[in-house]
Structure 1
């Protein structure tokens, strides 16, 4: 039966990384345990470049002598989107249907208990599917597909499947399996599964890797962590595209600078370290942030300039304006940081306004690195309009109380990115990795052009500087297949430069199908941020629903249902509504209409 389920999945999506493992919560309060027993978890990850498609296959045993309904709950990671959900009854595999309906929480939230705990565990981004009449003594099989991108730093690519769920699953699985298949356009120089070192290497070629880890009677005590390293010594790209029989094609572009660069290749930097020192930051979070800033100061070159700004209920500047990154100023800044204590309030919005005013031109590569653990009424569009000197705005967000939508939208519109940390992580190590990226700028004022007029629907629309050891990503649409030239231009240490790359907009409808899913994921993410920050409009709601149903990706307005038929929900491309708002000027491009 399981083989049939996997074959069906592969037919639907040829290649197919959460917070933790899926759970099956019985609906009948008389069920003799909190959860149906998780017998098997198998995770298969297919990686192309920096894109990961994950398939999670699970088996749950009804240990009762009666039939029961149950809710499958999976804590999907915030940076992923589900693309397919399958389930079984007897010898038949069904596809869960997306319908226009808000996803309901597991019952029992008001009274606490296991249902409330599972709801908290799953989080608002998680997946739920109610399954009916699971017969006594039978196994309920579920398979979830989702898409995400890898964490990347200086050639090291990291995938994490947070398996650890010991609070809910204190017993061992009968079978735990992790399979990973990597296809890279760059030589793979190293790889490891440090969390589960008892793995097999099935294929190890310069640009291809296949690993398998199997464990009987395995506990869900440790996340599965997989890493591989690629060699990259020149500025290059990864380009993926796929056509479609009924709608326009989709493409993904990853701009990948060299892993490391010498000081003579780096642009001069102006950087403001914006540190939140609210009372909630007191202790480990503030200590680690201060250490990270202190060590980041040592990464600056003698021609760079910097300042430190604190924000709480007010804003405080260390110096009135940027100062040179010489030894005396760096030593004085470290002394200042060592005396920082906690205060009340978290006005990140005021801090950003003051920090932006530190930059008087865009002669150098301008950066704000903000450390925050709370919420603040920042207005992404207002900040973008005030950001007249193309300053990259980067956030280090700590804990669960940060407002992801505001931070992501602000970073997207202001040449930056957000890096998230849990409070119990090694914060210093992660923060230093962020600093190592943004202190190595190679090109600023970056522009992308295609000598192909039918390219449209690009997201994002603002491109960051290129940094050694990092990457940036653009997704889009095209009307007709064929070869084209992509031009990447910007300003380097020697002035204006341009790099031309030959790319192929695929005619095939079967190659790199994930490109369509990743474009849709990015568009849904962006529109949901818009709704969260600026409020719902009929156009935004209709557009999100249309994207969700067309691409089979759940959004805030849709939910999975088990109807025990093979019918799937789709929508005619010609009826897809127009998205009417933009990030900056009220003219968000319609992802289905190239003329807007």
Structure 2
């Protein structure tokens, strides 16, 4: 009998190993990557890689507006019809208003629909064998596109267009993200029964109790040494409307050609680049050409829209903050900050410590899976305390999870002397999935503090950085290289050295009513102009008065509206800001009726202006059925890059899950071991 058991076990292991080696290792639906095409089979067998040919980005900049077209080329190399899914990043302030899908000779234009209706249209067309595509927003900076009924061997072109403003922090710039960095997902995974019902995403993470859509925002990452690379080409047509002193790329070598007066062409110097870090371009006006103010207007469907730039008081008007201040520095030391990111963060914090003044008080808080502070309370910026802090910062290493909530609580919740300014400088890559919960915490705990975020690394979560700074009534900046640490931290701390213009409001002539955003207008900091978009049913007045306070002193300035520049896209900029404002309110209320009303307002605004939002999607359907009824759908897939400077093992460590074949092998080996123990036990007692 023992021989029979052993022979049976040997046969079982042989079969299991054979199945595991002969079967392809299909990715499960928790494995969709940033900029990756996944071809899903109707049999639900999993996903196998499909190559991408290239991604072309075309950016046209006119004055302060950027119009961007992203063309992603994919190919279905299999002999079967396919459904495709891909996940990709866009700027957090992108107003996505157009999608075209090109399969073979046919181009299909996307239409804006309410999200649930768009899903229904897509699903029905897919079942009918019609070519169809769907673009959905997961976060303001993460989108998902689905493509169904792609013919064997066909190349697929997906063209997505969006608009954004190319001016921030008092300088002209644009940022194009190329990779969705892995997010830390807090909270226990939902139960299998619930997960099957609600998990419609394709990420590597399970939906959790704290991040219900985790599976939709966690693309997989190509392991070090794996073959294949996602590559991007870039063409920027720069027409700012004034001469430039310089044009520079922060992180990529570029070639710049001047085409004429005030027109420049920018492209990557060495052709396509690896899609593992954000692209950032800056341009500086020539001396004497700096815009002192800007006003763009548009008439759209009987309404008047305007975008105006508010200029803060200059350095010569402001006095440095005389009141002594408290600064809490918070540094992210989680695993995603490993490698180059933690070096940038340490250097940034050391530079900031050097800028502290006599009379300032400070503390340093680090967080990963846990939170700890250097000092039990705020301490004087003495020579001894600063030396202690420098040694502490120099020793920090990156490891563990990104439990941001306790760190924010510690920074905002400490007892403070209200006669002193309290400023929080938060240094992180923002690689978290529970942004909404953190925004709510900041709003609830801020009080009179101010929160400034510093985005670290090659692919920071720009949605978290900008929105956290908004709720924190501060500002944000990015550091993507150790070469720019000194300049960026100097810029930040210069803002902290001067009082902000607060309690800002626009005063218009009697009888003129407007709807303006952001609302309320945030604080204005030194050298940081702010754009305000507005809509009015009446003609715009000749001027508007801007009122505010700095250092408890009243301040006002009159802005003339006579020198207007007509410009398409102003209404889109207004609608994008309005949707952001409504979504902020949506996140902050709990009553069902209020949420429903705000959702309806978002949907109506998005439909009126043809914009993708949390509740609206672009869907395209080719009315002619393409896939024969008897043909089934098969699968292909692609992985995305690890952001430059990140360490794979710091982020993922050991794999969380096994493939079905690997699981079968493990079960088989455990059974074999158990059976051998039984045989040995029987021998011993026989």
TM-score per shorter chain, which class? Answer: 0.5 to 0.7
Q: Post-superposition shift, 1:191?
A: 1.2
Residue 157, structure 1, aligned to residue 170, structure 2 = no
What's 1:229 paired with?
283
Q: Secondary structure at the match of 1:294?
A: helix
**C-alpha offsets along residues 61-83 of structure 1, whole Å, 9 cap, x if unaligned?**
44455554434543334443422
Q: Post-superposition shift, 1:43?
A: 1.8
Residue 243, structure 1, aligned to residue 303, structure 2 = no
What's 2:533 paired with?
475
What's 2:161 paired with?
145
Residue 97, structure 1, aligned to residue 111, structure 2 = yes
Deviates more, 1:211-220 or 1:266-275: 211-220
What's 2:606 paired with?
548
Residue 562, structure 1, aligned to residue 599, structure 2 = no
Q: How many residues align?
A: 516
Choose which of 181, 197, 203 in structure 1 pairs with 2:237: 181
Q: Secondary structure at the match of 1:461?
A: coil
What's 1:54 paired with?
68
Question: Going by fraction, where is strand more abundant, 1 or 2?
Answer: 1
Q: Post-superposition shift, 1:318?
A: 3.8
What's 1:351 paired with?
410
The whole-number CA distance in structure 2 between the counterparts of 1:216 and 1:336 is 41
What's 1:412 paired with?
470
Q: Secondary structure at the match of 1:170?
A: coil
Q: Post-superposition shift, 1:96?
A: 1.1
The whole-number CA distance in structure 1 between the counterparts of 2:86 and 2:396 is 47
What's 2:641 paired with?
none
- Contact conserved, 1:445 with 1:465, CA < 8 A, in 2? yes
**C-alpha offsets along residues 349-370 of structure 1, whole Å, 9 cap, x if unaligned?**
4324435x43524xx7653223
Q: CA separation of 1:279/1:74 partners in 2, compared to 1, >3 Å: closer, same or farther?
A: closer
Residue 270, structure 1, aligned to residue 325, structure 2 = yes
Q: CA separation of 1:300/1:65 partners in 2, compared to 1, >3 Å: closer, same or farther?
A: same
Q: CA separation of 1:36/1:376 partners in 2, compared to 1, >3 Å: closer, same or farther?
A: closer
Q: Post-superposition shift, 1:185?
A: 5.9
Q: CA separation of 1:235/1:449 partners in 2, compared to 1, >3 Å: closer, same or farther?
A: farther
- Contact conserved, 1:242 with 1:250, CA < 8 A, in 2? yes
Residue 211, structure 1, aligned to residue 265, structure 2 = yes
Q: Secondary structure at the match of 1:481?
A: coil
The whole-number CA distance in structure 1 between the counterparts of 2:548 and 2:330 is 30
What's 2:583 paired with?
528
Choose which of 274, 277, 293 in structure 1 pairs with 2:349: 293
What's 2:426 paired with?
370
The whole-number CA distance in structure 2 between the counterparts of 1:101 and 1:434 is 42
What's 1:485 paired with?
543
- Contact conserved, 1:50 with 1:157, CA < 8 A, in 2? no
* Greater RCO (Cα-Cα under 8 Å, separation 6 or more): 2
Q: Post-superposition shift, 1:85?
A: 0.6
What's 1:75 paired with?
89
- Contact conserved, 1:368 with 1:393, CA < 8 A, in 2? yes
The whole-number CA distance in structure 1 between the counterparts of 2:585 and 2:508 is 31
- Contact conserved, 2:300 with 2:571, CA < 8 A, in 1? no
What's 2:39 paired with?
26
Look at both structures and tell me which one has the larger radius of gyration over its CA atoms: 2
**C-alpha offsets along residues 519-545 of structure 1, whole Å, 9 cap, x if unaligned?**
222333343344456557212222222
The whole-number CA distance in structure 2 between the counterparts of 1:20 and 1:499 is 49
User: TM-score when scaled to structure 1?
Assistant: 0.68
Choose which of 470, 491, 503 in structure 1 pairs with 2:561: 503
Q: Post-superposition shift, 1:287?
A: 6.5
The whole-number CA distance in structure 2 between the counterparts of 1:58 and 1:376 is 28
The whole-number CA distance in structure 2 between the counterparts of 1:493 and 1:52 is 36
Q: CA separation of 1:383/1:161 partners in 2, compared to 1, >3 Å: closer, same or farther?
A: closer
Structure 1 gaps, min length 5: 1-18, 108-118, 567-596
**C-alpha offsets along residues 76-121 of structure 1, whole Å, 9 cap, x if unaligned?**
34443422111235655332123323587x99xxxxxxxxxxx9xx
The whole-number CA distance in structure 2 between the counterparts of 1:465 and 1:477 is 22
- Contact conserved, 1:196 with 1:224, CA < 8 A, in 2? no
Residue 464, structure 1, aligned to residue 523, structure 2 = yes
**C-alpha offsets along residues 284-327 of structure 1, whole Å, 9 cap, x if unaligned?**
6666545423311333455x63321537667758485674x676
Q: Post-superposition shift, 1:552?
A: 1.9
- Contact conserved, 2:517 with 2:532, CA < 8 A, in 1? yes
Q: CA RMSD in A?
A: 5.1
Deviates more, 1:188-197 or 1:369-378: 369-378
Residue 455, structure 1, aligned to residue 514, structure 2 = yes
Q: Secondary structure at the match of 1:555?
A: coil
What's 1:191 paired with?
247
User: TM-score when scaled to structure 2?
Assistant: 0.60
Q: Post-superposition shift, 1:198?
A: 6.2
Q: Secondary structure at the match of 2:621?
A: coil
Question: Going by fraction, where is helix more abundant, 1 or 2?
Answer: 2
Q: Post-superposition shift, 1:472?
A: 3.1
Q: Post-superposition shift, 1:158?
A: 4.4
What's 2:208 paired with?
none
Q: CA separation of 1:298/1:34 partners in 2, compared to 1, >3 Å: closer, same or farther?
A: same
- Contact conserved, 1:267 with 1:440, CA < 8 A, in 2? no
